[in-house]
Amino acid sequence: MDIIDVLIIVLYVVLTLGVGIWVSKRASKGLNSYFLGGKSIKWYYLGLSNGSGMFDVSGTAWMVGLLFLYGAKSFMFMWMWPIWNQIFIMVFLAIWIRRSNIMTGSEWILTRFGDDRAGRASHLIVAIFAIVASVGFIAYFFEGVGKFMTIILPWDLSFIFNGSELLTSSQSYALIIIFLTTIYTIKGGMFSVVATEVLQYGIMVIAGILIAIYAFITVSDVEINNVISTEWSTIFFGNTLEGTWTGKFEAFNNLVDTQGYKMFGAFIGMCLFKGFFASVAGPTPSYDMQRILSTRSVKEAAYMSGFTNLILFIPRYLLIGGIVVLALVFIAPELAVSPTLNLGDLEIILPNVINYHVPVGIKGLLLAGLLAAFMSTFSAFVNSGPAYIVNDIYKKYFKNNAEPKHYIRASHLASFGVVTLGVIMGFFAESINAITLWITSALYGGYVAANFLKWIWWRFNGWGYFWGMTSGLFIATLQFILDQNKDNFEVGSWFYNVSQISAIYMFPIIFFVSLSGSFLGTWFTPATSMKTLKAFYKNVRPWGWWNPVFQALKEDDKNISKNNNFGMDMLNCAIGIVWQSSMILLPIYFMIRDYPKMWITLIIFIITSIILKFTWLNKVRNLSEEEDLQKLKIYSKVEDEENHTMAG
């Protein structure tokens, strides 16, 4: 590490802490200010913040490894999350969610199921899910940033006591970065998070552009083509995924065979199956939902979600593409002949490239950019998770009439607790990939079924939601425990065979169990009160099986009309997925100098952008804010009447 690079990183950390603490005073007015920024932050700042939060260093390291090994097809691995749930949010879900006018995803549940025992049960299970997910993601970041910083920075920070290593260098680095990020996040809430994330986004974009320029100048077309094949750059595939590496690079084909994605057709089919249900289910109750709820209006919620898609992928994949090009030319020859070549080597390609193949100055900016990626995502989860502890559990069930400052202090303690649990879990994580698969395929699988049904089926009630979520989370956690202990089972035993199944292929089982819990919980309990359903439907206006509620509303207001936009929304989602994919592939093809495919991708991006302008953006612009505000007033009035009746 040159002193210039060190100074750049130190300057970035000081600037981030300064900005975060400087704006923190605005968060002391109450929970609404602390967790949602008082719903006063402009949509483009929230969009930049949201995009910055998704630009995490662990995910970037994972994507670098995937692109290196699988080539252009690797963008489809992002469908495991699924990455295109952001398109569904942009097209219709952001509007539905923002119309609720509440603080957290758990509180939103009460608007759907009411504030009776069933509603509170579903409300509580969402809060628990949000907290568990936040802890899981913090563990994911702890594991990733530790590995990254150990390879990049030259200092050994391992802590040894009485001859025993209490902390590895990786763990020490992770603890330091987490501590610095936690300071301004806890102190300033949403205002500090958004302010620092906008700054961090700018640094990440600069870093991505610089590394792309450097890779473009340093590596020639001939050098790239000597390493990759035509198959590496194509996105078309068959039922099985064959290795595309030839000559002295054939050793990489063994990694393709052992990573669990060889049956690529089945893998993509599973991603599409999961992706549709997970996307309609909506965002998990985390920072993404907090950004939607923080917008100033329904219209701005849609703008913010669309803007997040637009600003995230091109700069991120310029960075990833630049790193991979350097790795293909400078690291692949040495890595291919390594006698210990394994999947873990893919996770450290990113830091190895930065350490040995990036010049002074650019290295410092790139490190600052990746550090910004970590800090922005981490701070987003630290801000969102405690909202559920304080607002949805502590305030609702234990102390509901305290002073705002009391809840702010409680939020500080909750944030500290969530971070501590995440760090403890991170100490026992096997690898970045293990935590990624648990979050995306197992934990998220338990969330999908109940949250899919809540939008589309009027009869689905609070107990159905509770048991659907509970059964899904139970089997997802069981799967995670089996996976973590798979080396301890006797070969050939039932536990051993189940533990060997990849998490993505466990999704249908988890989904089916959760769906069964949802239906049984619904059928054996009374329906949600018609008053609550009418208020919800009139306010949110989802499509789906809502005819009994619609007919009841029609008796009160003959002018009310159904939401018949399902077909158009699905068309926009399909176009949006192509639009999003083009923004991923465009910088990849640019960096590997495959200009014919680059121009085709650019044309697709332009065409889909124009189509979405007419089919989606114009529709959003025509949203009547006065009408939406009136709906919010109507809903609030009905809710107050219902609460008053229950209290009586």
> Cβ(197)–Cβ(48) under 8 Å?
yes
User: Could you count the other beta carbons within 10 Å of the beta carbon of residue 203?
Assistant: 23
- Distance (Å, rounded) from C-alpha 577 to C-alpha 198? 25
Q: For residue 111, what pLDDT is reported?
A: 87
How many residues in total does the chain contain?
Answer: 648
| Weakest-pLDDT range from 1-5, 176-180, 444-448, 465-469 | 444-448
pLDDT digits (tens, 9 = 90+) for 545-596: 999 999 999 888 888 888 889 999 999 999 999 999 999 999 999 999 999 9
Question: What value does the mean pLDDT take over residues 438-458?
Answer: 78
> Which of 475, 498, 504 lies closest to 485, judged by CA?
498
Q: Is the pLDDT of residue 28 over 70?
A: no
User: Is residue 91 pLDDT above 90, yes or no?
Assistant: yes
pLDDT at residue 485 tops 90: no
Based on the number of CB atoms within 10 Å of its own CB, is 487 exposed (0-12), middle (13-18) or buried (19 or more)? exposed
Q: Distance between CA 242 and CA 252 in Å, rounded?
A: 11
The predicted pLDDT at position 634 comes to: 43
d(CA 446, CA 450): 8
pLDDT band at 154 (very low <50, low <70, confident <90, very high): confident
Query: What is the token pair recorded at 247?
Result: 């000559």
CA dihedral 58, 237, 249, 338 (to 10 degrees): 40
Q: What is the pLDDT of residue 172?
A: 87
pLDDT of amino acid 31: 62
- Whether residue 560 contacts residue 554, with contact meaning beta carbons closer than 8 Å, is answered with yes
Cα angle 466, 137, 101 (rounded to 5 degrees) comes to: 55
How many percent of the chain have pLDDT more than 70?
A: 89
Of 170 and 465, the structure prediction assigns the larger pLDDT to 465
Q: Which of 320-334, 424-438, 598-612 has the lowest mean pLDDT?
A: 424-438
Q: How far apart are CA 207 and CA 373, in angstroms?
A: 11
Mean pLDDT confidence for 173-186:
82
What is the arithmetic mean of pLDDT over 248-274?
Answer: 81
Question: What is the pLDDT, as a whole number, of residue 636?
Answer: 47
- Alpha carbon distance 538, 241 (integer Å): 48
Question: pLDDT class for 340, splitting at 50, 70, 90?
Answer: confident
Please state, in angstroms and as integers, the Cα–Cα distance from residue 511 to each residue in 277, 441, 475, following that order. 10, 10, 10
Give the CA distances from residue 285 to residues 134, 467, 634, 648, in Å, rounded to whole numbers and listed in that order: 9, 18, 25, 32
Angle in degrees, 0-180, between the axes of helices 169-218 and 3-22, rounded to the nearest 10? 110
Highest mean pLDDT (candidates 213-222, 272-281, 370-379, 412-421): 213-222
Tens-place pLDDT, residues 128-149: 877 877 887 787 777 777 777 7
**What whole-number distance in Å separates Cα of residue 493 and Cα of residue 485?**
13
pLDDT band, very low/low/confident/very high, at 639 (cuts 50, 70, 90): very low
| Dist CA 103 CA 221 (whole Å) | 52
Closest to 127 (Cα-Cα) out of 380, 386, 378, 381:
386
**Cα torsion 40, 43, 48, 51: sign:** positive
Whether residue 432 is predicted with pLDDT greater than 60 in this model: the reply is no
Nearest to residue 531, comparing CAs of 629, 647, 643, 455? 643
Q: Which of 158-172, 222-236, 486-500, 593-607 has the highest mean pLDDT?
A: 593-607
The whole-number average pLDDT for the span 166-179 is 84
CA atoms of 119 and 106, how far apart (whole Å):
10
The percent helix, strand, coil of the chain (3-state, each to 5) is 80, 0, 20
Mean pLDDT within 164-175: 81
Q: Which of 133, 100, 55 is nearest to 385 (CA)?
A: 133
Rounded CA separation 90/308 (Å): 9
Residue 24 pLDDT: 65
pLDDT of residue 644: 46
Per-residue pLDDT, averaged over 495-520, amounts to 84
Q: What is the pLDDT at residue 610?
A: 97
Q: Contact 118/461 with Cβ under 8 angstroms? A: yes
The SS3 of residue 412 is helix
pLDDT-derived band at 414, boundaries 50, 70, 90: confident
CB burial readout 567-589, b (16+ within 10 A) else e = eebbebbebbbbbbbbbbbbbbb
- Burial grade of 198 (CB within 10 A; 0-12, 13-18, 19 or more): buried
- Give yes or no for residue 404 having a pLDDT over 80: no
Q: pLDDT band for 464, please (50, 70, 90 cuts).
A: very high
DSSP code per residue over 37-106: GGG-S-HHHHHHHHHHHH--HHHHHHHHHHHHHHGGGGGGGGGGTTTTHHHHIIIIIHHHHHTT--SSHH
| Position 306 confidence tier, pLDDT thresholds 50, 70, 90 | very high
Asked whether the predicted pLDDT for residue 274 surpasses 60, the reply is yes
pLDDT, averaged across the chain: 82
- Give the pLDDT confidence score for residue 308 in this predicted structure: 92
For the segment 111-115, the average pLDDT, to the nearest whole number, is: 88
The C-alpha atoms of residue 338 and residue 342 are separated, in whole angstroms, by 9
pLDDT band at 199 (very low <50, low <70, confident <90, very high): confident
Helix (H) or strand (E) holding 416: helix 404-427
Q: Is pLDDT above 70 for 193?
A: yes
* Residue 205 in tokens: 């974009």
Structure confidence at residue 32 as a pLDDT band (50, 70, 90)? low
Instruction: Classify residue 204 as exposed, middle or buried by CB count within 10 Å of its CB (0-12, 13-18, 19+).
Output: buried
pLDDT of residue 584: 95
Strands (E) across 496-544 are located at none
pLDDT of residue 431: 55
- pLDDT for 646: 39
For residues 190 and 383, the answer to whether their CB atoms sit within 8 Å is yes
Give the pLDDT confidence score for residue 317 in this predicted structure.
Answer: 93
DSSP state of 161: E
Q: Distances from the Cα of 548 to the Cαs of 179, 450, 461, in angstroms? A: 53, 20, 14
SS3 state at 159: strand
CA distance linking residue 104 with residue 34, whole number of Å: 12
On the question of pLDDT at 75 being above 60, the answer is yes
pLDDT attached to residue 14? 86
Work out the pLDDT band at 370, boundaries 50, 70, 90. Answer: confident
The confidence score (pLDDT) of residue 573 equals 95
Mean pLDDT, range 17-46, rounded to an integer:
71
> In the prediction, which pLDDT does 27 show?
53
Which amino acid is residue 62, in one-letter code? W
**Which of 326-330, 373-377, 540-544 shows the lowest mean pLDDT across its residues?**
373-377
Q: How many CB atoms lie within 10 A of CB 609?
A: 15
